[in-house]
């Protein structure tokens, strides 16, 4: 991205505010509520921990009585947050979008005050485009919004994480994330490949299992592989899952050491993920189920319902 | 971090290179191999997918015959990578360090050519400190290095992920990551709390389970909770794990729909994670076990050994 001077990120108009109001007034593009009009904080499910409720008091639509059209009152608490960020000399801070369920880093851009304020209120990941010198809500063209569940600042307050759930692929190329060029692969002579996404351990394992499935389809059984053998024999796969669950339990009941527990859990997870692949289910979907239980009645309530 | 003009990131000295050499020469601090001396690419296990081998040909120690002391020859392939990055007007690009096992974003800094080159060769996450105008290898003071397993560039080639395993807490405050200030918590009046780390779904679940364990210790049994009940009754916990494994299998054997599979896997994962907590084992340790199986003999070989 080409660096260029952004327009002044915040145009305050204290004269227009009602007397005594501490509200910061932000002027939005076109004077309206922006391209995310109609998307409210309440529409996005909150990702909550430790009893925190989703913050809904901040509203881009809530104009102070004395403000002029096109100006939006920002809650003083939001103003305090915005002012606590160490914006650089261009009024920007790094903003990283991360998938709340998988942890995948989806993209990285920059935010100015207005972009962060908009993200806080609309819960759609919004950036400041340095090349276009304008606010940019990811998904405003592709409709692949990133629905923000929480926002984190770093210890220096100059770096921001938008933790959210993407509606679809994030990269303009159609790839799931923008990071698909491995430096070490390139040094081995490989060309960038959108299938070679940056992936942490769980998703690399899932990817490996998926490739075994593809090999079965494309080559018949092909090169021998334990994963393929499991996929082709449902009874074997299920008996292994039962066996690994039993061995995990045994580490508790017989007070085996921690390393046994780690290994048996690894075995159980791997075999269960083979079953997921056979069923066409992704770990991300499983994690989404768990997250939604949290935010509805809680995992414990769900797990205990009619079972205890 | 205060923005300041970095020193010229790369001091090339073509005169010192052997005739015809395309090597880029980088001058390192103090003329030596840096504070990470002795740490070689070979020391860090490679995180590999799709048959890629860890790249070991790039060596900071491998000086070209004609170079002067303090200058280091960089492999032409590395040079090509370095030149493909869209460095900004200050010679910098954003560099994000991510935990290869958990996906946690550990910290974000900036890299210049020399920092990226050093990271490629030493496999220790290295940044350019704008405030100190110098190269900075994370861990050079604290010894909490971030051991880089792979490096990814984004589609625009102006953003870098260092995917690695931290030796210890990354933040200078002692927190696991630098991101522990939730904007929505702050808007509710909560003060930043290092225990309130940015966390994706799996680790939020793990955190919730851990808090139930702490409640048992601090309050006796306290408020009723399914998680606590499981933790206090090993037989119940193990019977639930067996039951959930059986229900997951049933979705395959009886061809139930995908949503049943997602839910049963969620149940199994939750109950197994309660057992992990009772045993004092973290998901990160389980994932590390799985990753190491990949890079040694492969998950399939391990899983199938003596079992098929």
Last residue in a domain, options B145, B166, B187: B166
**pLDDT tens-digit map of B100-109:** 999 999 999 9
B226 and A304 in contact by Cβ < 8 A?
yes
Which candidate in A170, A187, A196, A281 is best for mutational testing of the B interface (most B CBs within 10 A)? Answer: A187
Length of chain B: 308
Q: Report the gap between the CA of B31 and the closest CA in chain A (Å).
A: 26
A290 and B77 in contact by Cβ < 8 A?
no
Mean pLDDT (chain A) is 78
**pLDDT tens-digit map of A122-151:** 999 999 999 999 999 999 999 999 999 999
A89 and B3 in contact by Cβ < 8 A?
yes
Per-residue confidence band for B198, with pLDDT thresholds at 50, 70 and 90: confident
**Where do we find the tokens 């560099």?**
B95
- Do B243 and B297 lie in one domain? The reply is yes
* CATH number for position A78: 3.10.20.810
For B55, nearest residue in chain A (alpha carbons): A184
The verdict on residue B302 lying in a domain is: yes
**Where do we find the tokens 């309660």?**
B274
Per-residue confidence band for B217, with pLDDT thresholds at 50, 70 and 90: confident
Domain count, chain B: 2
Q: Around Cβ B188, how many Cβ atoms within 10 Å?
A: 15
Q: Around Cβ A179, how many Cβ atoms within 10 Å?
A: 29
* Closest of A218, A180, A308, A122 to residue B152, by C-alpha: A180
- Do A34 and A117 lie in one domain? The reply is yes
Helices B201-219, B258-279: inter-axial angle, 10-degree rounding: 40
Mean pLDDT (chain B) is 78
pLDDT higher than threshold 50 for residue B50: no
Question: How high is the pLDDT of residue A192?
Answer: 77
Question: How high is the pLDDT of residue A71?
Answer: 53
Rounded to whole angstroms, how far apart are CA atoms B188 and B252?
A: 45
Percent of residues, chain B, with pLDDT higher than 90: 63
The verdict on residue B188 lying in a domain is: no
Q: Around Cβ A117, how many Cβ atoms within 10 Å?
A: 27
User: SS3 string of A130-155?
Assistant: CCCCEEEECCCCCCCCEEEEEEEEEC
pLDDT higher than threshold 90 for residue A11: no
B262 and A281 in contact by Cβ < 8 A?
yes
The verdict on residue B143 lying in a domain is: yes
The verdict on residue A189 lying in a domain is: no
- Do A114 and A65 lie in one domain? The reply is yes
- Do B31 and B160 lie in one domain? The reply is yes
Q: What is the mean pLDDT of residues B41-53?
A: 34
- Do A131 and A203 lie in one domain? The reply is no
- Do B117 and B234 lie in one domain? The reply is no
**pLDDT tens-digit map of B125-183:** 999 999 999 999 999 999 999 999 999 999 999 999 999 999 999 999 999 999 999 99
The verdict on residue A263 lying in a domain is: yes
Rounded to whole angstroms, how far apart are CA atoms B92 and B112?
A: 5
Question: How high is the pLDDT of residue B34?
Answer: 30
Question: How high is the pLDDT of residue A189?
Answer: 87
Both ends of chain A: CA-CA distance in Å?
Answer: 56
Per-residue confidence band for A74, with pLDDT thresholds at 50, 70 and 90: confident
Per-residue confidence band for A73, with pLDDT thresholds at 50, 70 and 90: low
pLDDT higher than threshold 60 for residue A194: yes
pLDDT higher than threshold 80 for residue A236: yes
Q: Report the gap between the CA of B22 and the closest CA in chain A (Å).
A: 16
Q: What is the mean pLDDT of residues B52-70?
A: 40
B265 and A281 Cβ atoms separated by less than 8 Å: yes
Which candidate in A87, A103, A231 is best for mutational testing of the B interface (most B CBs within 10 A)? Answer: A103
- Do A31 and A75 lie in one domain? The reply is yes
DSSP-derived secondary structure for A78-113? HHHHHHHS---TTS-EEEEEEETTT--EEEEEEE-H
How many interface pairs between A and B have CB atoms less than 8 angstroms apart?
359
The verdict on residue A86 lying in a domain is: yes
**B234 torsion bin: left (phi>0), alpha (psi -120 to 50), beta (else):** alpha
Which candidate in B155, B194, B304 is best for mutational testing of the A interface (most A CBs within 10 A)? Answer: B155
Question: How high is the pLDDT of residue B151?
Answer: 97
Report residue A21: phi and psi, to 5°.
-70, 135
- Do B157 and B211 lie in one domain? The reply is no
Q: What is the CA radius of gyration of chain B?
A: 24
Rounded to whole angstroms, how far apart are CA atoms B164 and B124?
A: 9
B281 and A288 in contact by Cβ < 8 A?
no
Which candidate in B300, B302, B307 is best for mutational testing of the A interface (most A CBs within 10 A)? Answer: B300
pLDDT higher than threshold 80 for residue A178: yes
Last residue in a domain, options A141, A166, A191: A166
* CATH number for position B255: 1.10.287.1080
CA distances from B177 to A299, B106, B170, B173, B183 (A): 26, 4, 5, 9, 16
For A57, nearest residue in chain B (alpha carbons): B187
Residues 6+ apart with CB under 8 A from A244: A264, A267, A268, A271, B245
Give A219's Cβ-side CA count (13 Å radius).
11
B249 and A271 in contact by Cβ < 8 A?
no
Length of chain A: 308
A234 and B252 in contact by Cβ < 8 A?
yes
Rounded to whole angstroms, how far apart are CA atoms B98 and B120?
A: 15
Rounded to whole angstroms, how far apart are CA atoms A195 and A197?
A: 6
Q: Which of A39-48, A104-113, A257-266, B64-73 has the lowest mean pLDDT?
A: A39-48
Question: How high is the pLDDT of residue A8?
Answer: 33
CA distances from A54 to A45, A99, A145, A161, A295 (A): 8, 18, 19, 17, 10
The verdict on residue B185 lying in a domain is: no
- Do A136 and A215 lie in one domain? The reply is no
Both ends of chain B: CA-CA distance in Å?
Answer: 56
Residues from chain B contacting residue A200 (CB–CB below 8 Å): 98-103, 163, 287
Question: How high is the pLDDT of residue A124?
Answer: 98
Query: Based on the number of CB atoms within 10 Å of its own CB, is A19 exposed (0-12), middle (13-18) or buried (19 or more)?
Result: exposed
A45 secondary structure, DSSP code: P
**What token pair was written down for B88?**
């900004």
- Do A49 and A148 lie in one domain? The reply is yes
Residues from chain B contacting residue A300 (CB–CB below 8 Å): 212, 225-227
Question: How high is the pLDDT of residue A264?
Answer: 98
Residues 6+ apart with CB under 8 A from A9: A87, A91, A112, A113, A114, A115, A128
Domain of A231 in residue numbering reads as 199-307
Q: What is the mean pLDDT of residues B252-261?
A: 98
DSSP-derived secondary structure for chain B? ----PPPPS----GGGSPTT---EEEEPGGGSS-TTTT--GGGSPP---TTPPPP-S--TT---TTPPTTEEEE-HHHHHHHHHS---TTS-EEEEEEETTT--EEEEEEE-HHHHHHHHHH-B-EEEETTTTEEEETTTTT---EEEEEEEEETTS-EEEEEEEESS--STTS-SSSEEEEHHHHHTTPPP-TTS----HHHHHHHHHHHHHHHHHHHTB-S--HHHHHHH-HHHHHHHHHHHHHHHHHHHHTT--HHHHHHHHHHHHHHHHHHHHHHT--HHHHHHHHHHHHHTT-HHHHHHTTT-
**Where do we find the tokens 């921001």?**
A160
Residues from chain B contacting residue A54 (CB–CB below 8 Å): 184
Of A77, A86, A102, the CB nearest to B103: A102
A200 and B263 in contact by Cβ < 8 A?
no
- Do B153 and B215 lie in one domain? The reply is no
Per-residue confidence band for A200, with pLDDT thresholds at 50, 70 and 90: very high
**pLDDT tens-digit map of A294-304:** 764 444 444 54
CA distances from A20 to A10, A53, A66, A69, A165 (A): 20, 29, 11, 19, 39
Question: How high is the pLDDT of residue B44?
Answer: 30
**Where do we find the tokens 């490996």?**
A208
**What token pair was written down for B242?**
């067996």
Report residue B239: phi and psi, to 5°.
-70, -35
Per-residue confidence band for B218, with pLDDT thresholds at 50, 70 and 90: confident
Q: Around Cβ A294, how many Cβ atoms within 10 Å?
A: 18
Of B204, B248, B253, the CB nearest to A49: B204
The verdict on residue A125 lying in a domain is: yes
Q: Report the gap between the CA of A183 and the closest CA in chain B (Å).
A: 5
- Do B28 and B162 lie in one domain? The reply is yes
Angle among Cα A44, A131, B117 to the nearest 5 degrees reads: 95
**Where do we find the tokens 């839910």?**
B263
B150 and A183 in contact by Cβ < 8 A?
yes
């Amino acid at each position: 991205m080409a660096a260029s001077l952004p327009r002044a990120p915040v145009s305050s108009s204290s004269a227009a505010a009602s007397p005594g109001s501490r509200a910061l007034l932000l002027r939005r593009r076109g004077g309206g509520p922006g391209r995310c009009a109609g998307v409210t904080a309440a529409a996005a499910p909150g990702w909550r921990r430790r009893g925190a409720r989703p913050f809904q008091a901040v509203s881009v639509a809530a104009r102070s009585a004395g403000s002029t059209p096109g100006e939006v009152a920002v809650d003083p608490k939001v103003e305090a947050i915005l002012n606590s960020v160490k914006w650089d000399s261009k009024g920007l801070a790094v903003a990283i979008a991360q998938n709340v369920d998988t942890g995948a880093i989806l993209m990285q851009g920059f935010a100015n005050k207005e972009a962060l304020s908009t993200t806080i209120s609309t819960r759609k990941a919004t950036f400041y485009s340095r090349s276009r010198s304008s606010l940019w809500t990811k998904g405003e063209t592709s409709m692949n919004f990133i629905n923000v569940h929480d926002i984190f600042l770093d210890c220096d307050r100059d770096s921001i994480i938008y933790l959210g759930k993407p509606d679809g692929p994030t990269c303009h190329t159609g790839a799931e994330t923008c990071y698909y060029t491995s430096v070490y692969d390139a040094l081995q002579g490989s060309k960038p490949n959108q299938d070679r996404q940056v992936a942490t351990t769980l998703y690399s394992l899932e990817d490996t299992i998926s490739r075994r499935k593809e090999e079965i389809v494309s080559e018949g059984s092909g090169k021998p592989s334990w994963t393929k053998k499991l996929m082709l024999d449902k009874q074997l796969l299920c008996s292994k899952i039962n066996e690994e669950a039993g061995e995990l339990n045994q580490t508790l009941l017989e007070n085996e050491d921690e390393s046994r527990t780690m290994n048996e859990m690894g075995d159980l997870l791997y075999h269960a993920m083979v079953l997921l692949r056979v069923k066409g289910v992704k770990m991300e979907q499983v994690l989404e189920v768990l997250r939604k239980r949290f935010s509805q009645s809680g995992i414990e309530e769900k797990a205990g319902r009619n079972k205890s």
